[in-house]
A and B are shown apart, each in its own frame.
Chain A
Amino acid sequence: MRDFLIKLASLNRTTIYLIITIGVLLPLVVPLNLGQKMSPPTERLYTFIDTLPKGSHILLSADYDPSTLPELQPMLEAIVKHAVLRGVIPIVMSLYPQGTGLGIQACEKARLELGARPDTDYVILGYKPGFSAVILGIGEDIRKIFPTNYSGIPLDSIPAMRGVKNYNDIALVVSFSGGSTPFAWVTYANTKYGQKIASGITAVSAADFYPYLQTGQFIGALMGMKGAAEYEYQVNKLLEKEGFKKAKSVFAVRGMEANSIAHFLIMLFIVVGNIGYFLTKKRREA
């Protein structure tokens, strides 16, 4: 038995890669259909958007690139759909060039699947270089920072932007990021202008956001694929209720099931690795 355990703890790299690949692939092919429950930070964000008056504006900043796409893209897509269903107008922008393409993709889904109209039901402002200057500038006059949308149409010619001058006219900013960009939104938009901020973040930085959730500097947050799956699941229920069954997406829900199996495999690897380590150590000492 001891020899077997020691052997088990010395698998080669290829075997580990193979186990991981099969462990992730299987639940994708054979879905587990486990559903999702909202955690408190997700629920706070969902409820906030859900209870906004029709015609309100929310600013969604796609501050990420494809390296974090599987976690953050389903969040952005679900929130755009949620807003459109509730008659809230999402204004999509980005502090990084790549975020624009991903924002366009999310809005295109809402257009094709929910019949949302560009520049009326949603607006794509696109990328603007300058980072802190952009966040601060929106607090003064959004037209000075974004004279046009991403394709060159002046903001004054966009019906959905009528009456939007600065943060006073924006109910919520959600920054989606694989790094610390949401903190910049807190520092510049929340601290200076009192703007309400929420974040969609990758799991790798989730733990770092709790101090700012407790202070209320973030009103809510979606954390990693789990947060994406929770929001997606909730929006799916709403889509079904509103008769948009075909617009349902389970990218993150299914992804989280595969992720769950991967978590168990990692836990197993750690346990087996440690048993092997202690047995080998004991044998050496004996």
Chain B
Amino acid sequence: MLQRKIPLAMVFVFGVISTLQYFVPHPLSQQYYDTMLKWMIGVGSMAIFLALVSFLRHHYVRLRKKEHAPYSAVAILSFLFMTLVGFIGGMGPGSVFQKMFYYVQAPLQATMFSLLSYYMASASYRAFRAKSFEATLLLITAFIVMFSVTTFGNYVPGVPKALEWIMAVPNMASKRGIAIGVSLGSIATSLKIILGVERNWLGG
């Protein structure tokens, strides 16, 4: 009952009422809508505790393993430090909290993702082959787009227009086809969740 039936009933009741309220312009429906928006923010915010529990649990376990202990200790200490400076020193411009964000978190995250450019260069060189008609078509389009987006491409007559045409006609048609398929899929999944057909979210 508490484990499966109530959650499934909640999804059904909230799902049906929330869908119907869109079509019912009644003050009661509006009140429900306003209340739900406020509750969603409250419940959504509290999900951070789930992240905290799994973060602390994961690194606490690793503290007992010699090879991981120093790293996990650093992760926990970094977390505690950031939390303390945030709550004690404030979050305004110039605070230690913001400085930690600009000079520690931002460069670390930005650099991690910048490594991808090297891997992409290496992959282009090794794996991007015109082996078939489809691959050749992809390659030719990619070449035209790559040249057109460069600053030089701006100054070659006809190139900016060619880029805009590729993006706004054949590319757009293909992306719209995909988007229509994706939306049909996601609407169907939402309906299946509300009606209790799709229950994977309940977990094990």
Contact = CB atoms under 8 A, between A and B. Distances in A.
A48 interface: no
B167 interface: yes
Given A40-B164, A66-B105, A101-B102, A11 B41 contact: no
A269 B150 CA distance: 16
Nearest to B90: A151
B111 to A, nearest CB: 9
A173 to B, nearest CB: 17
A104 B171 contact: no
Interface size class of A (residues with CB under 8 A): 35 or more
A214 B172 contact: yes
A185 to B, nearest CB: 16
Contacts of A87: none
A69 B36 CA distance: 34
Contacts of B172: 210-211, 214
A262 B121 CA distance: 9
A270 interface: yes
B51 to A, nearest CB: 11
A152 to B, nearest CB: 9
Interface in A233-286: 256-257, 259-260, 262-267, 269-270, 272-274, 277
A260 B91 contact: no
A162 interface: no
B98 A263 contact: no
B152 A39 contact: no
User: Which of B109, B146, B147, B150 gathers the greatest number of chain A CB atoms within 10 Å?
Assistant: B150
A17 B14 CA distance: 54
Given A137-B37, A144-B34, A259-B150, A151 B91 contact: yes
Nearest to A151: B92
A225 to B, nearest CB: 9
A194 interface: no
Contacts of B108: 66
Contacts of B117: 20, 262
A65 B106 CA distance: 8
Contact of B129 (A17, A137, A274): A274
A104 B150 contact: no
Nearest to B153: A260
A56 interface: no
B192 interface: no
A267 B147 contact: yes
Contact of A69 (B33, B37, B90, B110): B110
A260 B109 contact: no
Interface in B115-152: 117-118, 120-122, 124-126, 128-130, 139, 143, 146-147, 149-152
Nearest to B149: A226
Given A20-B117, A151-B92, A210-B168, A134 B125 contact: no
Given A131-B44, A137-B37, A269 B121 contact: yes
A277 B101 CA distance: 46
Nearest to A192: B22
Contact of B106 (A16, A20, A69, A145): A69
A277 B129 contact: yes
Contact of A263 (B90, B150, B167): B150
Given A70-B110, A210-B171, A260-B151, A134 B41 contact: yes
A169 interface: no
Contacts of A208: 175, 179
A198 B105 CA distance: 28
Interface of A: 11, 13, 16-17, 20, 32, 34-37, 39-40, 65-70, 98, 101-102, 104-105, 108, 128-134, 136-137, 140, 144-145, 150-151, 203, 206-208, 210-211, 213-214, 224, 226, 229, 256-257, 259-260, 262-267, 269-270, 272-274, 277
Query: Across chains A and B, which 7 residue pairs bring their CB atoms closest together, nearest first?
Result: A130-B41, A260-B150, A133-B40, A66-B106, A211-B176, A210-B172, A269-B125
15 contacts: A37-B160, A102-B106, A128-B41, A130-B41, A140-B37, A151-B91, A210-B168, A211-B176, A213-B168, A226-B149, A263-B149, A266-B121, A266-B124, A266-B146, A269-B121
